[in-house]
Protein backbone atom coordinates (compact mmCIF):
# COMPACT_ATOMS: atom_id res chain seq x y z
CA UNK A 1 0.00 0.00 0.00
CA UNK A 2 1.10 3.55 -0.70
CA UNK A 3 -0.72 6.82 -0.23
CA UNK A 4 -0.96 10.06 -2.13
CA UNK A 5 -2.10 13.55 -1.16
CA UNK A 6 -4.33 15.75 -3.29
CA UNK A 7 -2.37 18.99 -2.96
CA UNK A 8 -5.37 21.09 -3.99
CA UNK A 9 -7.48 19.58 -1.20
CA UNK A 10 -4.81 19.74 1.55
CA UNK A 11 -5.37 22.68 3.92
CA UNK A 12 -2.10 22.17 5.78
CA UNK A 13 -3.70 21.34 9.13
CA UNK A 14 -0.87 18.95 10.11
CA UNK A 15 -3.12 16.18 11.42
CA UNK A 16 -1.49 13.54 9.19
CA UNK A 17 2.01 14.53 10.26
CA UNK A 18 0.94 14.40 13.90
CA UNK A 19 -0.38 10.85 13.46
CA UNK A 20 2.40 9.45 11.30
CA UNK A 21 5.40 11.81 11.08
CA UNK A 22 7.61 9.23 9.37
CA UNK A 23 5.26 9.17 6.38
CA UNK A 24 3.78 12.68 6.26
CA UNK A 25 5.83 15.85 6.40
CA UNK A 26 4.72 19.46 6.28
CA UNK A 27 6.85 21.40 3.82
CA UNK A 28 7.52 25.05 3.04
CA UNK A 29 4.55 25.25 0.68
CA UNK A 30 2.26 24.73 3.71
CA UNK A 31 1.08 21.36 2.44
CA UNK A 32 1.67 17.80 3.61
CA UNK A 33 3.86 15.57 1.45
CA UNK A 34 4.43 11.83 1.49
CA UNK A 35 7.93 10.62 2.26
CA UNK A 36 9.49 7.40 0.99
CA UNK A 37 9.42 4.62 3.54
CA UNK A 38 10.77 1.11 3.55
CA UNK A 39 8.70 0.09 6.58
CA UNK A 40 5.07 1.05 6.10
CA UNK A 41 2.48 0.99 8.90
CA UNK A 42 -0.83 0.34 7.16
CA UNK A 43 -2.90 0.97 10.30
CA UNK A 44 -1.36 4.41 10.83
CA UNK A 45 -1.74 5.28 7.16
CA UNK A 46 -5.42 4.29 7.23
CA UNK A 47 -5.94 6.34 10.40
CA UNK A 48 -4.48 9.38 8.64
CA UNK A 49 -6.78 8.77 5.66
CA UNK A 50 -9.76 8.65 8.04
CA UNK A 51 -8.71 11.69 10.09
CA UNK A 52 -7.81 14.09 7.26
CA UNK A 53 -10.53 16.77 7.44
CA UNK A 54 -10.62 17.34 3.69
CA UNK A 55 -10.21 13.71 2.59
CA UNK A 56 -7.05 14.74 0.73
CA UNK A 57 -5.23 11.48 1.45
CA UNK A 58 -6.02 8.35 -0.52
CA UNK A 59 -4.51 4.99 -1.28
CA UNK A 60 -2.25 5.11 -4.31
S1 LIG B 1 -4.49 15.87 7.37
FE2 LIG B 1 -5.13 16.26 5.23
S3 LIG B 1 -5.48 18.48 5.12
FE4 LIG B 1 -4.29 18.09 6.99
S5 LIG B 1 -2.15 18.38 6.37
FE6 LIG B 1 -2.63 16.19 6.15
S7 LIG B 1 -3.29 15.94 3.99
FE8 LIG B 1 -3.37 18.14 4.49
d(CA 3, CA 35): 10
Share of the chain above pLDDT 70, in %: 100
12 lines ligand 1 (CB under 6 A): yes
Query: Which sequence spans correspond to the domains of the chain?
Result: 3-59
Distance 11 CA to ligand 1 centre (A): 6
Fold of 3-59: Alpha-Beta Plaits (3.30.70)
Distance 54 CA to ligand 1 centre (A): 7
pLDDT in tens, the chain (60 residues): 889 999 999 999 999 999 999 999 999 999 999 998 877 899 999 999 999 999 999 998
For the CA of 32, the closest atom of ligand 1 is 5
Share of the chain above pLDDT 90, in %: 87
Spell out the residues 6+ positions from residue 18 whose beta carbon is closer than 8 angstroms to its own: none
16 lines ligand 1 (CB under 6 A): yes
Amino acid sequence: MAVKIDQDACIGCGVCEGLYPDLFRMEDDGKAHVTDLTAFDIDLAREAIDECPTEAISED
